[in-house]
Amino acid sequence: MNILDIGVDIIEINRIKEAIETNPRFLDKMFTENEIAYFNKRGLKHETIAGNFAAKEAISKSIGTGIRNFNFKDIEILRNEIGKPIVKTYNNLTQICIDYNVIDIKVSISHCKEYAVANAIAIVKE
């Protein structure tokens, strides 16, 4: 297993709460339908949404580009049956992963009262 790079991000949960409250399109702009369905299932908890947001920025750093040449909805973070985050890519980000030989992206999310944090590892072909 070879690693392209790692990425980390931290966000104030309150910033996500404010974005949701002030911009009715925020969720639709940043998250896929599957992610929004998952958030609804979790009672739209701000820490869960903030965790997914931080995970997307962490992933963009693990690729080494930041959110550039793809958009937030090209990354989808769901959970497996026991709660572990699972990453899927779409559109331009899928092409970028092919170009960079990225075969998998791992992500880990945590949150406390005020902050959500995520880190990511982009794994490339040997």
Ligand X SMILES: CC(C)(COP(=O)(O)OP(=O)(O)OC[C@H]1O[C@@H](n2cnc3c(N)ncnc32)[C@H](O)[C@@H]1OP(=O)(O)O)[C@@H](O)C(=O)NCCC(=O)NCCS
Residue 52: helix, strand or coil by DSSP? helix
Residue 84: helix, strand or coil by DSSP? coil
CA distances from 94 to 8, 31, 47, 73, 103 (A): 20, 16, 27, 12, 10
Q: Does 56 bind ligand X (CB under 6 A)?
A: no
Stretch that binds ligand X, among 12-20, 43-51, 55-63, 84-92 (CB under 6 A): 55-63
Catalytic machinery residues:
61, 111
Q: Does 60 bind ligand X (CB under 6 A)?
A: yes
CA distances from 95 to 70, 81, 99, 126 (A): 10, 28, 6, 19
Stretch that binds ligand X, among 29-37, 60-68, 75-83, 87-95 (CB under 6 A): 60-68
Judged by beta carbon, residue 66 or residue 110, the one nearer ligand X is 66
Please name the residue that has the structure tokens 């497996």: 80
Residue from the set 20, 36, 67, 103 that interacts with ligand X by CB under 6 A: 67
Residues 3-32 that bind ligand X (CB under 6 A): 7, 9
Give dist(CA 126, CA 78) in Å, integer.
Answer: 26
Residue from the set 3, 21, 44, 64 that interacts with ligand X by CB under 6 A: 64
Q: Where does this chain bind ligand X (CB under 6 A)?
A: 7, 9, 57, 60-61, 64-68
